[in-house]
Structure 1
């Protein structure tokens, strides 16, 4: 048995050590029965279901502090998104199967464009439309990358039932990437974000895509480092 003083010393030493980054960016959901489309119609992968493209991935090799729920919220607040209006969510959650052994799992959270006000700006987005995203975490026993898969799209105002604008999946992805790449900061944290555009994960076109809106088949891989 260690004396209590030694236990306290070792615990303090462990907490002071930096968290190690994951070994991989992500695992391809398609390779293990998953999909790069979420399920937006409640079919849970059944034949004929429609989904939104998971068109942005936050790499598992990002700083560990970015990949937690609280850390990711702080990060996206640095790029113009925040929690939903007054913390309220309308509509049912969507699910995704990331090929990690967890099957179809509901979104971790949904965030909206904040129009410059992280506290109340998403209420404006709920009214007039704008960019928004859903988050899914790849952390199952068969593919535990820790990566965050995002379904990003630009939507119409509430008067149009928040449907997706024409070309809204590509537009939403590109707006998020444009705000993210480079250096941003929030609540004392500074982030450096780099981009790699990937093809071959998502098919181009509108097959099984919700609202019959075609995508260009590009997935943006973002690696976010706290500097």
Structure 2
């Protein structure tokens, strides 16, 4: 749900790096799905507000932009591995989040049935490249009858839909988020080589910087309004 930006200062992390390129540390911008990899085509910057980069924080942010955890905790398919070049080697995904179609409670169950956008998350926090950034493998998938295969051009489609949903101002669970996006060249080779299902992608990686603000309470807003207007009322009585 979109809302206005409150005046509070966001909890940003000014000393962090946005990310370290995985290939520098011997990692890969493709996951290991056992039969090809999925592009890590979105990064949530390590300079984002620190609360966004936690496990609970990223789930709350995801719910603000139309995604949630898997319905009843049921996961179809094997978890994937990724090597972010941070010294952790091939590590399992932290969580998988699915489009919730506007309903946090049951919407991801709908996505499981009819398909939609989804993403897997890895955290870059090893000793050799500890940015804290979150690397996302985003894709648009088909319905359950099609085995949740990726739709044609599904990696580009999924990334673009996630970016469109994220950019701007959104709120969930008492937190207001402002998100900016930029494209990163040179991290991911374009094409279908090594890519799961042989689906070509354009090589674009999107970097999201997410700042979190506490949502102002109604009583605080009312108090502020009265405090500002009181001197004017005294002057004109």
**TM-score normalised by the shorter chain: which range applies?**
0.7 to 0.9
TM-score, normalised by the number of residues in structure 2: 0.84
Residue number in structure 2 paired with 1:46: none
Distance 1:19 1:131 in 2: 28
Q: Secondary structure at the match of 1:225?
A: strand
Matching of residue 76 in structure 1 with residue 62 in structure 2: yes
Paired residues for 1:69-218 under 5 Å: 69-218=55-204
Distance 2:137 2:189 in 1: 15
Shift, 1:159, TM fit: 0.1
CA contact (8 A) 1:133 1:150 kept: yes
Poorly superposed stretches of 4+, deviation over 3 Å: 18-22
Gaps of 5+ in 1: 1-17, 42-48
Distance 1:181 1:138 in 2: 22
Residue number in structure 1 paired with 2:26: 33
157 and 90 in structure 1: CA distance in 2 versus 1, 3 angstrom threshold: same
Gaps of 5+ in 2: 1-10, 214-237
Q: How many residues are matched?
A: 203
Shift, 1:90, TM fit: 1.7
Shift, 1:91, TM fit: 1.5
Q: Which of the pair has more CA radius of gyration?
A: 2
